[in-house]
Structure 1
Amino acid sequence: MTRFAYVNGRYQPHADAMIHIEDRGFQFADAIYEVWSVRAGELMDADGHFARLDRSLRELRITNPKTEAGYRLVIAELLRRNRVRDGLVYLQISRGRARRDHAFPSGPVRPTVVMTTKRLDHAAAQRRADAGVAVISLPDQRWARRDIKTVNLLPNVLAKQAAHEAGAAEAWLVDAGGQVTEGASTNAWIVTADGVLVTRQTDHDILHGITRARIIQRAQALGYTIEERAFTVAEAQSAREAFMTSATSFVTPIIRIDNRPVGNGAPGSVATALRSAYLEPI
């Protein structure tokens, strides 16, 4: 079956889709992206992702080329063409094509819009969550505006590769003060001995995860106490539980950090309960 992508108003075979070599996303990573998880044909946490998309564009001073309704129409058609019921939607918007110069183009430039979809095996993801995963810790070498969802992801790529080579699922990034910021592609959480859920506060140091925000809501509804603050790797290793959240991992328990077991070395009851609560219909 032919896989389709959406590029600047056209649905094209995925293998033939392309952008110009002077697109600023390619030349400078002058672009943002957004990812929606899809379950049973429906976008998860759609409103939050659309709001973050709009914010990221504003922060980079890129004009939003579509309305939310326009994006939803394209997403629906792309899901239909690719026959995706469970998977994800990836959207990338760059400042557009212009003569290579670091400064913004002086004249009007149409933003480049690229959208793709892919299927995900949610059963395999559930098996991974049931078993729990390992993470490693690495120095955080990213730029100072991690709250903007840009495509400046090279430090994240290198961290994720280091995790892969270490047999881990994720890398937790650590700032100069020894505090965990977040994962290479996830938000980081721990559960203290007293049962308090801790995740880093939303400032410029982390991406404001949409799944993270939803988990806070679900956890509060279940009666858990939330602390939004930084924590060290040592605190995480001695915590009752640890887990990570994202649009693609949902809530995934972490059972080892730098080869040291967390808790009893098995997925904890809090993370398991939160994953179930998150995946319930709203």
Structure 2
Amino acid sequence: MNSVFINGEVVDRANAKIDIEDRGYQFGDGIYEVIRVYGGNTFTMKEHMVRLYQSAEKMKLEIPYPEEELTAHLLKLIDSNQVKDGIVYLQVTRGVSARQHHFPSGDVIGSVVAYTKDFPVPSQQMELGVTAKLLEDIRWLRCDIKSLNLLGNLLAKEEAASEGHFEAILHRGDTVTEGSSSNAFMVKDGVIYTHPATNLILNGITRRVIEGLCRENTISFQEEAFLVRELLEADEVFIASTTSEVMPVIKIDEQTIGDGKPGPVTKRLQALFSERKREQSPVK
């Protein structure tokens, strides 16, 4: 697994080079996606690619390949590295130019880099549940753009991890937004609640899959903001992301959630999500 995609070519990782004046390196002026691979097939590739181009449009960034061509490059990379269960990391920046805060001239071409990585499903944690820490959401106000500007996320994740937690669950004032690298959900009286898809959260692809599974299986799903107090009093809590799938949260700070075990709604969603993965077909 040594090949990477860089600006139109699949090359050996040892030969991959990025210019020090790339705007992603100097300003975080770029976007990214993480796409799951199960059994050699990509999962929700189309949805990830659509979101990539939407993020680009929101920040006036031109991706130098049409969606279909870039998708083909990623599939070639997966095949080259013989990925079975893992991820593809894809990053697009505004390109290389002399350092200046305003955007470079229109003749500067964006940089596109992708690599693959083995990433097994965290089955044990999904079965037993994980813990989380509540932290104030200090991030900027365009969390709907999947940009490289992740310092607020990183500081929260590090604080949670340093205390042995799997995730940080963020809140603005009393209102819960999302996790540092996931969307956050609570279950009360059989109803799933999650923050609406506004500029304050990233509309996760796994979040969208979960919403679709709920609609298809008559599970009540409400895009409705909820308070920290309500989160701590919930029957169940779970987080969701490309790498964590549907992850039960059994304790937040010192508060045990429910009976301290993954709840029935969460476990049903895990089963439905696993079934959806099995139904996937390769992107052509």
Give me the TM-score of the superposition, normalised by structure 2: 0.95
Name 1:165's counterpart in structure 2: 162
Name 1:36's counterpart in structure 2: 35
Deviations 1:14-52 (A, max 9, x none): 233221011111111110001111111111112211110
Please state if 1:200 is matched with 2:195.
Answer: yes
Computed over aligned residues only, the root mean square deviation of the Cα atoms, in angstroms, reads: 1.1
Paired residues of 1:134 and 1:259 also in contact (CA < 8 A)? no
Please state if 1:237 is matched with 2:226.
Answer: no
Aligned mates of 2:15, 2:249 — CA distance in 1: 39
Deviations 1:225-276 (A, max 9, x none): 1111111222111111000011111101100011211000001111111011
Cα distance, 1:219 vs structure 2: 1.2
Name 1:190's counterpart in structure 2: 186
Report the AA paired with residue 57 of structure 1: A
Deviations 1:146-175 (A, max 9, x none): 000000001111111111111100001110
Matches within 5 A, 1:100-179: 100-122=99-121, 125-175=122-172, 177-179=173-175
Name 2:85's counterpart in structure 1: 86
Aligned mates of 1:189, 1:164 — CA distance in 2: 20
Name stretches of at least 5 consecutive residues in structure 1 with no aligned partner.
none
Cα distance, 1:93 vs structure 2: 0.2
Report the AA paired with residue 244 of structure 1: I
Cα distance, 1:277 vs structure 2: 0.6
Aligned mates of 1:12, 1:258 — CA distance in 2: 45
* Segments ≥4 residues shifted beyond 4 Å: none
Matches within 5 A, 1:256-271: 256-271=251-266
SS of the equivalent of 2:50 reads: helix
Give me the TM-score of the superposition, normalised by structure 1: 0.95
Paired residues of 1:241 and 1:268 also in contact (CA < 8 A)? yes
Report the AA paired with residue 110 of structure 1: I
Name 1:14's counterpart in structure 2: 13
Cα distance, 1:198 vs structure 2: 0.1
Paired residues of 2:40 and 2:82 also in contact (CA < 8 A)? no
Name 2:217's counterpart in structure 1: 222
Report the AA paired with residue 184 of structure 2: A
Aligned mates of 1:132, 1:227 — CA distance in 2: 23
Aligned mates of 1:276, 1:161 — CA distance in 2: 30
